[in-house]
Structure 1
Amino acid sequence: MSEVSQELIRSAMAGKGLDALVCALPMHVLMLTGYWPIMANSIAIFTAKEVELIVPADEVENARAYTSIPLHAFEPAALDRLVNPVHAVTEPLIARLRALGLEHARIGHESEQFLQPASYLTMNLYNSALAQCIEKVFPEVKLQSADRMLEELKARKTERTLARLRRGCEVAKHAFLNGVKAIEPGYTERIVASLFELEHSRSCKGQPFDRVESFFFCMSGPNSGQADSAYARTRHRLIDSGDLVMVHCNCSYDGWWTDITRTFVAGAIRPEYQKMRDAIARARDAALAAIRPGATGREVDRAARQVLERAGYGPNFTHGAGHGVGYAAANPDGRPRIHPCSDDVLEEGMTFNLEPAIYFKGRYGMRHCDMVAITARGAELLTDF
């Protein structure tokens, strides 16, 4: 069972003149089959009539719990020889392409490098090697980049996927509400990040998720001022009284990702911090009001950016106001792109982050990043806390 309706995928394929899709990136395997690979060695084959999954033998039992499509196992390792992962998977891939009669087909594939979560569990990229193998064995096959089509398919979420993202955001919410107790002078950034991780683990108890990956990052004082360019860095810096403390969270729940940031104060809030917080809140509200089906990414970005410019923070808002989130977290090219130059048209079912921010290099920074879904009426805030 694919996470995007099979009818929608096949309609998109027909529009591109494709007979089949062959995808290996975990987020695309998830979208096409409903299964999130453990070691990222799986390959999805999607045709006008069939959906099949080539999967490591030791993942078959796990995959069967998530999908009812035909599974074809291969051995990713052996004791009597060293196994190249590409060679191990190409034999069953070629066999299945031949069995499905795709020797002369037009096949869509992943031709570019997509941003993937930085975990060994989801980082085995061999799309170019697979393409070369297919071309060598089947010289009559016409390979065609499906990158743009895949991005468009990932942009609009089904109600089932939206329900999972809502639940994931709810889990993250409790981690933030409980983790705020760790924002104290005398703790290091690493300790704060670890305590948020602990609260997140507690929040997952009783939730219907099989696999959860959580990444919390903490940046305080002057480190928060460079969080626009090095947001995923947690250091041993000791938090001082009066510091701004930014906590950024990327969490995956069975393959669906959240992207959330909150900024706290260690101790009493200073007047300049309150001014920044108020400006960011107004920018967020303006952007939320601009979100509707048919609006463009640049219109939403402009709504937030104008508020910060009028408050005197225009030069300090140094990135786009958001990007698509769901099948990946930190993907600035994910649709829709909420950016001054983006003509991406917002559609019902799209999900993205909204992250107005103010950075003073070498001093401090503040960012508030929410998850948003687009409904027929406008914006649904998934992180209302």
Structure 2
Amino acid sequence: MKLLLEVINLIVNNVRIEKLKKHMKEVNIDSVIIFKPENRRYISGFTGTSGYVIITGEENYVATDFRYLEQVSKQCEGFKVIELNSVHTIFDVLNELKVKRLGIEDNFVTLQFVNNLEEKCSNINIVPLNGALENIRMIKDKEEIELIKSAAEITDKAFNHILDFIKVGVKELDIAIELEYFMKKLGAEGPSFKFIIASGKRSAMPHGVASDKIIEEGDFVTIDIGCIYKGYCSDMTRTIVMGKANEKQKKIYNIVLEAQKESLKAIKPGIKGFEVDKIARDIIDSYGYGECFGHGLGHGVGLEIHENPRLAQNEMGKIVLKPGMIITDEPGIYIPNFGGVRIEDLVLVTEDGYKVLSKTTKELIEIS
């Protein structure tokens, strides 16, 4: 079984590397250095916190220090290991490899690194990757999809668990702590972001992370949660009511639910993110709450909780949806001094449409 997993990982990594090498040829670079943790893991499998992946036309390398040498040998099948230390730096390595045109993650690299590179590797021409790795990562392979499905399943179970925990008098922070504990018991590495548990008037804050506010009768409670499972993230939001919902709460909830359901129906290959966003936005605006929906409809999810593509009216919303993309669909209405509602699903773009990965009910839940 162990040998089979190693072979599968090697095949997966090779496919990903070949996609990167295709880009390298297109922009005429002979090498790429990767140090953004998510990109490093995607290409090599390395999960350590310090190191570099170097892809050249001939070989693939992981350069790291003594602490991670054994880890690299186990995780990075098909990669040569280079040890770094105080007298053998990454800049020495690049000179030894006779790199000429080097692709760098310009959306992640520090100015200090670039300055050192220009000073210590004067023969190297720096070429920005312009998000090439993130673009490759937008399309999830079968292994990634299964891992995200598992993360979504843990999230569903955690939400259903927390419904028996929430009651009047409990703090938002207590809910967040219980959710994280339960998710970890189910195999999650941890939360994929700082949980948003926002009750009462605080639910009008789209990113109202859990506070010491006490849950009260009549509160909206927005619960935006997700976990990391074997490196991959999930993301889901539901809004519940403590006690019986009043007419205004029901009205706001149903508008958001309508916007969410109708925009979901539009998700398919070939449509652009901003077009899906517009469907939800137009519905909310038609009820007079357009100014109360100020964020984009959704975002990509994978090794990072926020990735491209975006379901939004900005430049990233012009990306065309393709099979294998995993995105969120999360319209909301936020009314100051009243409260807010958000309903969010995790969604896989399929060959002929979409598949919702979040299985939790979207009917309004009232907790007595």
Query: What's the TM-score bracket when you normalise by the shorter of the two chains?
Result: 0.7 to 0.9
Q: Does 1:64 align with 2:43?
A: no
**Which shifted more, 253-262 or 157-166?**
253-262
Question: Hey, what does 1:180 align to over in structure 2?
Answer: 163
Q: Is the alpha carbon distance of 1:212 and 1:145 closer, same or farther for their aligned partners in structure 2, counting shifts above 3 Å? A: same
TM superposition shift of 1:241? 0.5
Identity %: 25
Q: Please state if 1:25 is matched with 2:68.
A: no
Native 8 Å contact 2:269 2:322 kept in 1: yes
CA contact (8 A) 1:194 1:216 kept: no
Q: Secondary structure in 2 aligned to 1:36? A: coil
Question: Does the CA-based 8 Å contact 2:20-2:133 persist in structure 1?
Answer: no
Alignment check: 8 A CA contact 1:51 1:70 kept: yes
How far apart, in 1, do the equivalents of 2:320 and 2:266 lie?
Answer: 12
- Rounded to whole Å, the distance in 1 between the matches of 2:350 and 2:247 is 37
Distance 1:241 1:4 in 2: 54
Amino acid at match of 1:351: I
Match of 2:363 in 1: none
Q: Which of 88, 92, 97 in structure 1 is aligned with 2:94?
A: 97
Corresponding residue for residue 217 of structure 1: 196
Contact in 2 for aligned 1:155/1:336 (Cα 8 Å): yes
Among 287, 305, 328, the alignment partner of 1:353 is 328
- Tell me the amino acid that sits aligned with residue 195 of structure 1: E
Q: Secondary structure at the match of 2:106?
A: coil
Within the candidate set 287, 299, 302, 2:275 is matched to: 299
Encode CA deviations 1:314-367: one digit per residue, 9 max, x unaligned: 2211111011221211x3xx3211112321111111122111111001220111
What corresponds to 2:3 in structure 1?
none
How big is each residue's C-alpha offset from its partner over 1:293-314, in whole Å with a ceiling of 9 and x where there is no partner?
1110111101111222223322
Question: Which residue is equivalent to 2:84?
Answer: 74
CA contact (8 A) 1:24 1:127 kept: no
CA shift for structure 1 position 232: 5.2
**Residue deviations 1:16-52 (CA, integer Å, cap 9, x gap):** 2221111111011112212222x3x211111223221
Q: Which residue of 2 aligns with 1:375?
A: 350
- Which of 252, 263, 269 pairs up with 1:287? 263
Q: Secondary structure at the match of 1:129?
A: helix
2:318 counterpart letter in structure 1: D
Assess if the C-alpha contact under 8 Å between 2:268 and 2:352 holds in 1: yes
Distance in 2 (CA, whole Å) between partners of 1:286 and 1:4 is 36
User: Which amino acid in the other structure matches residue 125 of structure 2?
Assistant: K
Three-state SS of the structure 2 residue aligned to 1:91 is coil
Unaligned runs of 5+ in 2: 1-9, 361-368
Q: Pick one of 10, 14, 25 that aligns with 2:21.
A: 10
| Cα RMSD for the two superposed structures | 2.1
TM-score scaled by structure 2? 0.87
Aligned to 1:244: 220
- Is contact 2:276–2:311 with CA below 8 Å preserved after alignment? yes
The TM-score normalised by the length of structure 1 is 0.84
CA contact (8 A) 1:185 1:267 kept: no
How many residues align? The count is: 345
> Is the CA contact (8 Å cut-off) linking 2:195 and 2:209 kept in structure 1?
no
Matches of 2:217 and 2:74, distance apart in 1: 50
CA distance in 2, matches of 1:243, 1:107: 55
| Inter-partner Cα distance in structure 2 for 1:355 and 1:363 | 20
Query: Is the 8 Å Cα contact of residues 36 and 254 (structure 1) preserved in structure 2?
Result: no
Residue aligning to 1:42: 51
Amino acid at match of 1:45: I
